[in-house]
């Protein structure tokens, strides 16, 4: 079983692509039919193969669209992404709403007038997503939404649909809180250390221990309590060939998430706090099998001790952060020019090329005289390292030479934003409505709903215009290239330029017999340059991957 992968992407529908490859046109393919986007989403696609779940949804969507004189022209999909959590962004859904708003897919220009899905919960479960889709269908003009084999009229929805979405969200949150306070098991993917749900025999997921996995979980907890590093624990698990609950290899983040989860001692976090009994203030112990102090030798107090060393906000599991603790965003800040682009070329413990990212490290102590260094931090690799200064100097020279050769003399060009006319039209509509209220032709109560929608639509388009201009500014970093431009760029701007011309740089280990104090050898750096995207079937291009 392979681990599930989260990704969002869109492409031309395969039947239409085949038609275009044979020399046909989009207009000929439509032949009067309404063009729709097939949207597919699945929270966890863990079947063998690539995205089987979303593939099945696309097949059903294609058949269902044809029942109503419509045809699928584009596939948009969010794989292994939930639609029920506000913090989870679904790039394909957002792009779909944007393209429906403008009536065309952005890169190919293929017309779209709505979408089809196997069920509306695949598309929206939060009120904000319902509103985003409804606004898009309204702005395109009587947009079409098909759920399974039925057309739903979201354009003329009077708010009942939105209220139902809010009601479901409120009911779900209330149910989760009630179950937490009662210590009952809550629905979630199977956790390592517990058995999953089963129909035969009938079994609730995450209630009973997995007797094979449980000892490994206890070992991880004890190792961390004893001061073992997350990296060391991760390496131990992978060396034992123990897989995660989804059948993959362990990462430091996965180990941290498991050891810091209070479920192993019977606790639970709700809204960032440990669920406690309001009468006693003690943690509520859940109705699932958990660690026993006499048998397993791990306790709630050990968990609290472990948590004192956890700094990441989302892993803090309800424990109060230490004063001045770094936030997750601060932890991710890049301070080295090529960190993230460098890859480890050493064979790891599994006799595979590691390919993990190298990160920049501050030189301290006796090594301070050698300067900062890049190093692989993979738990199952002995690691590879290089000093920052010679690596940056050599690669920066390559990048500048590449830019001089391919982009010097080119002209800056800003692609016009496609929504300018639509935004101007909506602004005029808003002024007309406001003028009608001022003149007494209309009463405020009669137009309040319309103005609310207009303001929301205008705000959405204004943000889209801002995003477009920022993207054009990034692209114009390369257009009209001049060498002196480089020195004026900030670190993040330089990294953005590098990302547009380089995909990765593999750092090859120093050959045997050569001292690690030998002079820097640039031949041990293997650069992969980013290929230019080519047009497909005479169209301007197509979006292969959104995120």
CATH code of the domain covering residue 34:
3.40.50.1390
Residues 356 and 467 reside in one and the same domain: no
Whether the model pTM is above 0.85: no
Residues 21 and 144 reside in one and the same domain: yes
Six-digit token string for 499: 């990302």
In a domain, 283, yes or no: yes
Please, where are the H alpha helices in 67-152?
91-102, 120-123, 127-140
In a domain, 327, yes or no: no
Tens-level pLDDT at each residue, the chain (547 residues):
333 457 788 999 999 999 999 999 999 999 999 999 999 987 654 433 344 577 889 999 999 999 999 999 999 998 878 777 777 889 999 999 999 999 999 989 999 999 999 999 889 988 889 999 999 999 998 899 999 999 998 888 655 555 555 565 555 555 555 555 555 666 577 889 999 888 778 888 888 999 999 999 999 999 988 888 888 899 899 989 999 988 888 988 899 989 999 999 998 887 667 888 878 878 889 889 999 989 999 998 889 888 877 755 555 555 555 444 444 333 344 589 998 899 999 998 888 889 889 989 888 888 788 889 999 988 888 888 899 999 999 999 999 999 999 888 888 777 899 999 999 999 999 999 999 989 988 888 888 888 998 999 999 999 999 888 888 877 777 887 888 889 888 888 899 889 889 999 999 999 988 887 788 999 999 999 987 543 333 334 444 444 3
Place of tokens 């309040």: 448
Residues 83 and 165 reside in one and the same domain: yes
Six-digit token string for 88: 């989870």
Q: What burial class does residue 204 get, using C-beta atoms within 10 Å of its C-beta: 0-12 exposed, 13-18 middle, 19+ buried?
A: middle
Q: List the domain range (segments joined by +) for residue 152.
A: 7-170
Residues 503 and 448 reside in one and the same domain: no
What is the rounded CA–CA span in Å between residue 472 and residue 398? Answer: 25
Residue where one domain finishes, among candidates 315, 350, 374: 315
Residues 471 and 492 reside in one and the same domain: no
Place of tokens 């016009």: 416
- Residue 209 dihedral angles phi and psi, to the nearest 5°: -65, 145
Total domain count, the chain: 4
What is the rounded CA–CA span in Å between residue 262 and residue 186? Answer: 14
Let me know: does 192 contact 245? Beta carbons within 8 Å: yes
Residues 220 and 300 reside in one and the same domain: yes
CA torsion 223-225-228-232 (nearest 10°) is: 50
What is the rounded CA–CA span in Å between residue 438 and residue 432? Answer: 10
DSSP bridge pairs for 203: 198
Residues 362 and 297 reside in one and the same domain: no
Residue 47 confidence (pLDDT): 39
Q: What burial class does residue 353 get, using C-beta atoms within 10 Å of its C-beta: 0-12 exposed, 13-18 middle, 19+ buried?
A: middle
Six-digit token string for 378: 């993979």
What is the rounded CA–CA span in Å between residue 173 and residue 186? Answer: 12
Residue 25 confidence (pLDDT): 94
Residues 90 and 70 reside in one and the same domain: yes
Residues 361 and 505 reside in one and the same domain: yes
């Amino acid at each position: 079983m392979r681990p599930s992968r989260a990704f969002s992407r869109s492409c031309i529908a395969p039947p239409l692509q085949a038609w275009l490859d044979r020399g046909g046109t989009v207009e000929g393919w439509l032949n009067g039919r309404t063009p729709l986007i097939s949207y597919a989403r699945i929270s966890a696609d863990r079947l063998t193969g690539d995205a089987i779940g979303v593939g099945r949804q696309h097949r059903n969507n294609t058949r269902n669209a044809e029942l109503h004189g419509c045809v699928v022209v584009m596939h948009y999909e969010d794989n292994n992404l939930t639609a029920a959590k506000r913090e989870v962004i679904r790039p394909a859904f957002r792009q779909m709403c944007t393209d429906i708003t403008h009536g065309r897919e952005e890169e190919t220009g293929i017309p779209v007038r709505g979408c089809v899905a196997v069920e509306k919960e695949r598309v929206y479960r939060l009120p904000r997503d319902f509103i985003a889709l409804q606004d898009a269908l309204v702005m395109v003009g009587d947009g079409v939404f098909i759920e399974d084999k039925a057309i739903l009229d979201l354009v003329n929805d009077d708010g009942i649909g939105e209220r139902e979405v809010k009601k479901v969200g409120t009911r779900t949150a209330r149910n989760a809180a009630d179950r937490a306070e009662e210590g009952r098991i809550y629905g979630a993917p199977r956790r390592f250390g517990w058995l999953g749900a089963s129909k035969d025999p009938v079994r609730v997921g995450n209630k009973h221990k997995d007797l094979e996995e449980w000892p490994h979980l206890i070992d991880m907890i004890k190792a961390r309590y004893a001061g073992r590093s997350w990296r060391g624990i991760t390496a131990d698990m992978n060396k034992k060939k123990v897989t995660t609950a989804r059948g993959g290899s362990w990462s430091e983040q996965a180990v941290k998430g498991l050891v810091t989860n209070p479920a192993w001692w019977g606790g639970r976090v709700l809204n960032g706090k440990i669920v406690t009994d309001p009468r006693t203030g003690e943690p509520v112990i859940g109705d699932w099998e958990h660690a026993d102090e006499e048998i397993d030798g791990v306790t709630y107090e050990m968990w609290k001790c472990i948590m004192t060393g956890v700094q990441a906000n989302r892993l803090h599991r309800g424990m109060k952060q230490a004063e001045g603790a770094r936030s997750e965003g601060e932890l991710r800040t890049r301070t080295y020019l090529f960190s993230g682009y460098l890859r480890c070329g050493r064979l790891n413990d599994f006799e595979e090329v590691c390919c993990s990212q190298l990160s920049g490290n501050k030189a301290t102590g006796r090594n301070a005289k050698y300067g900062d260094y890049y190093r692989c931090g993979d738990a199952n690799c002995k690691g590879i390292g290089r000093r920052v200064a010679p690596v940056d100097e050599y690669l920066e020279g390559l990048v500048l030479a590449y830019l001089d050769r391919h982009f010097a003399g080119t002209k800056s060009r800003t692609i016009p934003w496609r929504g300018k006319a639509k935004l101007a039209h909506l602004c005029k509509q808003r002024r007309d409505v406001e003028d009608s209220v001022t003149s007494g032709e209309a009463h405020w109560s009669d137009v309040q709903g319309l103005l609310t929608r207009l303001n929301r639509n205008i705000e959405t388009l204004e943000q889209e215009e801002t995003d477009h201009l920022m993207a054009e500014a990034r692209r114009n970093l390369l257009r009209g290239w001049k060498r002196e431009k480089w020195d004026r760029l900030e670190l993040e701007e330089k990294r953005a330029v590098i990302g547009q011309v380089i995909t990765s740089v593999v750092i090859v280990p120093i050959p045997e017999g050569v001292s690690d104090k030998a002079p820097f050898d640039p031949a041990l750096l293997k650069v992969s340059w980013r290929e230019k995207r080519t047009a497909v079937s005479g169209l301007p291009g197509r979006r292969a991957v959104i995120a």
